[in-house]
Structure formats: structure tokens, C-alpha cells
Amino acid sequence: MVIIYLGMLVTGGFTTYNLLRWGALYPPLVVHSQWWRLFTAGFIHLGWEHILMNGLTLYLIGYYVEQLFGHWRLLGLFILSVLGGNLASFAFDPTAIAAGASTGIFGLFGAFIFLGSEFRNNNGVRLMARQFLILVVINVVFDIFMPHVGLAAHLGGFLVGFLAAAALGAPRLGKISLLKRLLSGTILIVLGFLFYGLGRF
């Protein structure tokens, strides 16, 4: 993300044109086969404040998620949440130009909150998940009243992270039933097609 930020900085800054040139999400372009924007938008930021805030938050939540899921599952959760959040933006914000890692960050919060609900007998995980949930609710309330903030993207990323955590499992913490994992994975796939279909039509 930092390399992309520096690349944008020296090739025109953070104008609309440069954001789109570097891969920001813009639904009309996705409709015209530029589907890769659903992925690349998660690594583009709108300025130094944006990347600093997202970078610090990603480091903090990523640290806790990695302790319980491992680094490969952390990567999978982040990427799936970026895709899911951007698909939600594609479906429900059809004219918005979107960029930022916050879709993936909300997904990591969703993943940890899933652990808090699944392994509620683990006091440490449950209490931290409760704190993260409060933080997410506060952010969503701010999103509602702030213009130009992708509420659909944030909620989509959170939902996908929650479901992806159930589907991928967390062996370091405990076992999740196969039925729950399969059901969560199926819902993820259905949501992906649903969001994509809504965005296209």
C-alpha cells in the first residue's frame, strides 16, 4: 500500500483521474469488464491521512487476528473482505469512486467478533470482541452522518469477514463444526454473486 501511495504521489497525486488510473473502484468501469478494480481499490488511498489511519488500524487489528488465525488465514480474510466490501459498494453505490483498505479492516473486525461469539467461553477473546464490536458500531454511526464515506463497503466487508472466519476456521483457538463452515462458505458465494448481479443490473 505504501509503494502504491508513493507511486500515486509522484504520478499526479490524488485526483479523480489518477485514482482511476491506479485502480480505484468505479462501478461503471467494473460493468465494462474492469473487474480487477474490486481487488485493487483496497490498496489505494486518498491521501496521507487516509493511509496513515488505515495503516495503523490494520496493524493493530491484524496483530490480534494473526495470533488466532495464523498469517495465511489473515491474508485470506483480508482479501475476501476487500472483495466483499467492494462488491457491496458496486451493488449499492453505483456512482461512487471508492478506495481504501477499510473494507478489509472491517472484515478483520468481523472475523474477530465471530470468534467472540463462537468461543464465548474464552473470556479474553469474548471481552476483546465486545470492545471491537463497540468500535465498529461507533464507526458505522459516524459513517451514516459523514458524506463520501462508503457505508455499504464497510458493512459488506464486515459481513464477509464474519462469514469468512466461520468458513476458514481458527485451529489455534478451537474447532468449528463442519456444517457451520460449509454453510458460511455457501452464504459467502451466494452473497458474492448477489452483489455482483445487483451491480451489473
**Average pLDDT over every residue of 111-136:** 95
Domain count, the chain: 1
Q: Is 81 a residue whose pLDDT tops 80?
A: yes
**Average pLDDT over every residue of 99-109:** 97
pLDDT for res 91:
95
Decide if 18 is inside a domain: no
pTM of the model: 0.94
**Average pLDDT over every residue of 39-52:** 93
Decide if 196 is inside a domain: yes
Decide if 123 is inside a domain: yes
Question: Which residues make Cβ contacts (< 8 Å) with residue 74, sequence separation at least 6?
Answer: 62, 65, 66, 108
Decide if 165 is inside a domain: yes
pLDDT for res 111:
97
pLDDT for res 145:
86
Q: Is 148 a residue whose pLDDT tops 80?
A: no
For residue 165, give its domain range: 46-92+99-200
Cell matching residue 134:
463497540
pLDDT for res 58:
96
Decide if 85 is inside a domain: yes
Decide if 4 is inside a domain: no
State whether residue 98 is helix, strand or coil.
strand
Decide if 61 is inside a domain: yes
Torsion angle defined by CA atoms of residues 168, 171, 177 and 179, in that order, rounded to the nearest 10 degrees? 20
What's the rounded Cα separation, in Å, for the pair 160 and 57?
18
Would you name the residues annotated as active-site residues? 102, 154
Q: In whole numbers, what is the pLDDT of the chain averaged over residues? A: 94
Decide if 175 is inside a domain: yes
What's the rounded Cα separation, in Å, for the pair 173 and 119?
8
Per-residue confidence band for 1, with pLDDT thresholds at 50, 70 and 90: confident
